[in-house]
Copies of this chain bind each other. A is one copy, B any other.
């Protein structure tokens, strides 16, 4: 990629795949088939619950399924999936569970998909996760260069079994691990019981990821607004626990990410944490933060990434505080809140005045590093399907674009660069 007008290598850091639920049966240990039948029998009740909270809108669902019937089969059909990725210009993808976000017809067994939660029955949870993980390994093996499969990891189960599943998943060809956002009544993520798990994830180079979905719904009544307002906080919350308990200091090879929760909250969090850490180290001999050897933002840049999905303009304006390399774009295929099947238009509307070099990082190169994609193998696909900077409305002469963001980039994280506050957005040249 030496010509600045080369097509983009686009990697979606947040896509979804999953079998129609009943088809998971052959991937599930047969001793759990009776429980699986009970789980299948409860589907209607769960759909009713979703409708009650207003997550499911009947009219919207009907239109969505009739408009996109063919493409939605890409949720579990590889050939159809590649067609959809190609038409969106997406060369590769990170594959989370639950293809069907509208009707939950592709829920992994026993609720271990995006609803993965720390209080799941440990045995059933691991069985359901393994069923999905086995299928997913098969699914991604057909074009391994284009998919990074995310194994489901019920991390609150017996640590030995969790570590074994990490190695099993790695050997089967999966590339990342989704852990629950919420530990519920199990030990929080600062607990030493998780140390062997962090070590195994680092050793196998499998990034850990939380994904939005779980939240304390029992508190929300019928109020969808409360759920949506909080559902991005819970997946980011483990960061507080991992950073302050020194997990990133003890496991420098561990990578951790937060998916489909935006990245708008990160500047405030970094500002808040860094000031707390640096303030304590400024005047006092004994710091209450002895588990850390550097400011939280340094661990973040070294080991944390954000699968920010369909990044908003407000977030891009804050990218010098977030860290350009920490923002991993995603299409959320095949979910309706994502950019599919209009990704090309969406990219143009969103990135037209962003420097090309930074766009390349956010749209693909940063994700390639985090998830270990082979960019050489993807280069020819990108050349074939990727939109060019011109397609995104980005001017060939980048000097004015770069200049318009210069002050914002220079100020960056203002608390580290001696500025009182950020300079957000473009300034007149």
Which residues of A are interface residues toward B (Cβ below 8 A)?
54, 57, 59-60, 188, 190-191, 219-221, 223-226, 228-230, 233, 237, 240-241, 243-245, 264-265, 268-269, 271-273, 276-277, 284, 286, 288-289, 291-292, 313-314, 316-318, 414-415, 420-425, 427
Contact = CB atoms under 8 A, between A and B. Distances in A.
A288 to B, nearest CB: 4
Residue of A223, A245, A291 with most partner-chain B CB within 10 A? A223
Contacts of A237: 230
6 contacts: A226-B245, A229-B269, A229-B273, A271-B314, A314-B420, A422-B424
B424 A421 contact: yes
Given A220-B188, A243-B225, A245-B221, A288 B54 contact: yes
A100 to B, nearest CB: 20
A188 B221 contact: yes
Most chain-B CB neighbours within 10 Å: which of A220, A237, A244, A292?
Answer: A244
B265 A244 contact: no
Contacts of A421: 313-314, 316-318, 424-425
A124 to B, nearest CB: 25
B422 A273 contact: no
Contacts of A414: 314
Q: How many copies does the complex hold?
A: 2
B273 A264 contact: no
A422 B318 CA distance: 10
Contact of A317 (B223, B289, B313, B422): B422
Nearest to A183: B219
Contact of A244 (B190, B229, B317): B229
A191 B218 CA distance: 12
Contacts of A271: 264, 314
Nearest to A223: B244
Given A244-B223, A245-B221, A288-B54, A276 B313 contact: no
B276 A228 contact: yes
A266 B229 CA distance: 12
A288 B225 contact: yes
Contacts of A427: 427
A133 B226 CA distance: 33
Q: Which of A59, A225, A291 has the most CB of B within 10 A?
A: A225
B420 A221 contact: no
A286 B59 CA distance: 10
Nearest to A53: B288
Contacts of A284: 57, 59-60
A229 B272 contact: yes
Contact of A268 (B224, B265, B316, B425): B265
Contacts of A224: 244, 288-289
B420 A423 contact: no
Contacts of A221: 188, 190-191, 245
The 6 A-B pairs of least Cβ separation, nearest first, read A225-B244, A54-B288, A317-B421, A313-B420, A424-B424, A224-B288
Contact of A286 (B57, B219, B288, B317): B57
Contacts of A316: 421
Contact of A188 (B219, B225, B277, B422): B219
Nearest to A229: B240
Specify which of A190, A229, A284 lies most central, judged by the most chain B CB atoms within 10 Å of its CB: A229
Contacts of A59: 284, 286
